Structure formats: structure tokens, C-alpha cells
Chain A
Amino acid sequence: MDLLSGLVRTVLNHLHSIVNQLFRSEDGIFLQSERPVSEVRAAAIAIANIAANQRHIGILHRGSSPNSPVKFLHLAFHFDLRNEDQISAKYVWVGPKVPEARLRQVAAKCRQIHRANGPNLPYAFSPPIDCIDAQTGQYLLGPTNHGLTCASFVLAVFERAGLRLVDYGSWQINRPGDMEWQTSILEVLRNGSSQQHIAALQAEIGAVRFRPEEVAGAAAVSPLPASFEAALEKAQLVMTALSKAN
């Protein structure tokens, strides 16, 4: 009897896994073991668990020719914008459901933003709208622009390419955990950041937070931009995929 129930449980788990994979595939959410990043169409989102309850997100982009290498552009931390050739297997990727020709523009914007900024992009909690100079591709420091998170950087790049990923007006603010997370980042940044930047970060505690899994989820929504609820729904699929990728 125990043997039979164990067998049934195994079969059900397997079926659940297959159904889950089918749903994720339909949403364009992929583990690298299912679809390698070499299959990315011009641009995509990549997300991974990097610590307990902490995820990191960036943009996979590539040139037009079939042999172009895939690059991973991401804001690793304060003044640490990277455009890397390698990506860890623990990253899950999400292909936005937009025409490939538009994704090629995103890829071009990624190259331009990396050319314009190098690693010099500050980390803060400022909004991702109108923060990248239309003329130079550089991050615009200003009274309301102090820096971005890894997730808001992704939003900012897509925004600059004319593809708004999320409906900003629908986003919930002051959710449980947001201020605690922002405060923890502030504490880490106290070492090695200017007093001016710390003061700006303190003033931004309580700002709306775009969580990496929600931004990745938003990229799976069609049509864009994704409402908060729609992004949250897809974020669950992203989280399931991440649990399998680790």
C-alpha cells in the first residue's frame, strides 16, 4: 500500500512538474536546463536567487547575427554596472512577448547605456522614469534621481527603448518588508558611499519598490505594460522556476 501511494505521489509530482513547465513555457519563463540563453531573441530578462529572500535581475542581450554572444547587463550594486559574457546556471530567463525587432532596439539601448556609463551607475531607490538621458544614455543624477536598484534599472532600460514593462500607477507602496529591505541596503551602502548619497538614500526610504521577481513576471505579461496584479501572478511562476533552478 505504501509502495503504491509512493508511486502515485511520484507520478503526480512528475505530472505537476510537466504541467508547470508547460505553463511556464507558454509564459516565456525558462530554466536554462530547458532552454539555454543562446536561444534568447535579442533581449530577455534574467533573474536568480542570490541569497535568502534576495533575488537579482538583469537583461540578457545579443547582437543580430546568429553567432552573437549573449551578454548580461545588470546593476550588481553601487557604481557596479556590468555587462558580462557569462551567466550562472541558476538564472532563469523570461522572454518578453514583443516583436523581435523591438527587442533588437532594447539590445541596442543596452549597448548604448553600457557604453555611456561604464560601471558608473549609482544604487538607490529612485523611480525608473526619465532617469536615463535621452541624448547620452547616461544616468541622470538630479534632485529626484539618485540611483536605481537592479530591478528598476531593468525597467529604466526598457522604458528608454519605448517598452514600458509595468503600469507604475498600479504599483502598491509601503508593502510589508519594503522599508526593512531599503534600510538594510542603506546600512550596507554606508561603507564607501558619500555622505550626500547616504542622505539621499535616507530620504528615499519608503519609496515604491519594484521587486525583481515582479519585474521578471511583468516581462511575461502580454500586452505590456503589466498591472501590479498581473505581474504578481506571473511572479509566482518565476518563483517556482527559481526554486527548480537552485
Chain B
Amino acid sequence: MTSSVGYQPKNRIGLVKDQPSQQAVKLSAGDEKALCRHVWRISSSNAARGNIFRIVLNQIRDAHEAAAGNLIACKWDRYLRPFHVSQSEPSEVQIAIEFITEHLRHNQSSNDATRLLRPLVELWSWENADGAACETALAGALRLYSMGQADSALDLLYDRLDDMMRRGDLVSIDRLLLQFGPEDLPVDLILALLTATLPVRDKLESRYAFLRNAERVLNERGEYEDGILAGL
């Protein structure tokens, strides 16, 4: 009998859904509406990316200055640091994501969280267009996946990896395949990594080992099917 344990999310690269919050900020209904309104503005195509987050954060801070300050300070050490592999200061977008995640988790509004976070996560990965971008994109994709947004996770990963390839940053992609094994990922994201990197498979030293490990991991999880890795 085959035992299928499937993909088990871990906290290693930023999954947050099982982490208890002790510092969540309770917003009033009116504030929550205002917050939603501001986040919707972020997804406006006309919004200037750099400025809109300042607007959002400033307005959040204006309304909840002390609480927000405590929240951000607290979360950076306890929670953001393991998430952000570059160990540098969190970006505004990142803080906004964490703030809204925390707030919405506190209010048990998972549907709203999904709706609100997607544009933020996307923009966050665009903002981090440096060596750590792959890791943050994968973390963002994992986060979306854990929220039940598998399609958004795939779209984010494809776009981000394609962007890295367009800039010729194969070193970062190779490092990603080396650092994060298939055991950390659900099958959809394993296949997305392999599919997206197919055109440059001969230029990525770690890709073959990732592929072999993928076969092993999928077998162990009981997720292996004939043809699942064919052509990759």
C-alpha cells in the first residue's frame, strides 16, 4: 500500500499560516474599509509603484502609529528575518504585506487576504530585482500557494523566473535550485521551476540534480505518475 503524505508546508522560507500572532492589531470596521480601499489603489495600473506603498504605509501609520510601529519592529526579528534571505532591511512593500497579512489573519478574513495580497506579492517580487529576487519570488509563490491561490503562485513564479532569464541572471536561478530542494515545494511549483527553466536547462548546473531529486521526492510522497517529468 502506498502512503501519500503529499506536500507539507514548512516555515523555512516564510510560510506563515500556522504561526500564532501575539501582536496583531485590531482595526475598526471603518479602518478596515479604508485599508482595503488603499490596497485596491495599489493594483491600479496607473499607480506609481514606488509612491503608492508610501501612501498606504503612511496612512496606516497615521491611523495606527504606535501599534503599527510595534508590530513592524516585533515582526522583523521574529518573523521577517527568516523570510528575507538577504538579511537586509525589509522593504516597504514587504512590511505592507506582513502588516496586512497579520491584520487579516487576526480578523479571520482569509478570502480578503488572498484578494489583497496578490498585487502586493507581485509588486514585491518586482521590487526585489536583485540576487535575492528568485528566493523572494519563490517565497511569494509558496505563500500564495498556501493560501489556495495555486494559479497566482504559478503565474508569479513564471513571470519572475522569466524576468531573471531575460536579464541573464542564471546564477541566481541556479543558486535557487541548489538551495531549495523539491522536498520544500508542492508538485505544481516543482514542475513550474522545471518548465520555466527548460529553455536554459543546459546552462544550469544544479538543474539536473533538482530533476533527479524531484523524481525521488514525488515517489516518496506518492505523487509520481508516469510522464509527470517527461520532457523536462
Known interface pairs A99-B225, A104-B188, A163-B231; A136-B166 also in contact (CB < 8 Å): yes
Q: How far is the CB of A167 from chain B (nearest CB, A)?
A: 13
Convert B216-228 into 0s and 1s, putting 1 for each residue whose CB lies closer than 8 angstroms to a CB of A: 0000000101111
Chain A residues near B (Cβ < 8 Å): 63-65, 68, 98-99, 101-102, 104-105, 107-109, 111-112, 134-137, 161-164, 223-224
* Nearest-CB residue, chain A, relative to B232: A162
Query: With a CB–CB cut-off of 8 A, which chain A residues contact B163?
Result: 135
- Partner-A contacts on B (CB < 8 A): 148, 150-151, 154-155, 158-159, 162-163, 165-166, 187-188, 191-192, 194-195, 198-200, 223, 225-228, 230-232
A137–B151 CB distance below 8 A = no
Q: List the A side residues contacting B151 at CB < 8 Å.
A: 63-65, 68, 107-108, 111
Contact B231 A134 (CB under 8 A): no
Interface of B is mostly: helix
| Contact residues in A for B225 (Cβ distance below 8 Å) | 99, 101
A to B contact number (C-beta, < 8 Å): 75
Query: Which one of B192, B198, B227 lies within 8 Å of A223 (CB-CB)?
Result: B227
Chain B residues whose C-beta falls within 8 Å of the C-beta of A101 in the assembled complex: 187-188, 191, 223, 225, 228
Q: Which 4 A-B pairs have the closest CB atoms?
A: A134-B199, A135-B166, A64-B150, A108-B154
- Contact assessment for B162 and A162 in the assembled complex, using a CB-CB cutoff below 8 Å: no
In the complex, the answer to whether A162 meets B148 with C-beta atoms within 8 Å is no
Contact assessment for B192 and A98 in the assembled complex, using a CB-CB cutoff below 8 Å = no
Q: Which residues in B have their C-beta under 8 angstroms from that of A102?
A: 191, 227-228, 230
Q: List 11 A-B contacts (CB under 8 A).
A: A65-B148, A98-B227, A99-B227, A101-B223, A102-B191, A102-B230, A112-B155, A134-B199, A135-B165, A223-B227, A223-B230
In the complex, chain A residues whose CB is within 8 Å of the CB of B194? 162
The complex places the Cα of A137 from the Cα of B162 at a distance, in Å, of 8
Q: Which of B148, B159, B191, B199 contacts A105 (CB 8 A)?
A: B191
Which residues of chain B have C-beta atoms less than 8 A from A223's C-beta?
A: 227, 230
Complex CA distance for A104 and B165, rounded to whole angstroms: 22
Q: Which residues of chain B are near A111, meaning CB under 8 Å?
A: 151, 155
CB distance from B90 to the nearest CB of A (A): 29
Q: How far is the CA of A112 from the CA of B148 in the complex (A)?
A: 20
Indicate if the CB atoms of B158 and A164 lie closer than 8 Å: no
Contacts of A109 in B (CB 8 A): 158, 195
| A-B contact sample (20 more), CB < 8 A, given A102-B191, A112-B158 | A64-B150, A64-B151, A68-B151, A98-B227, A98-B230, A99-B226, A101-B187, A101-B188, A102-B228, A104-B154, A105-B191, A107-B151, A108-B154, A112-B162, A134-B162, A134-B165, A135-B162, A162-B231, A224-B227, A224-B230
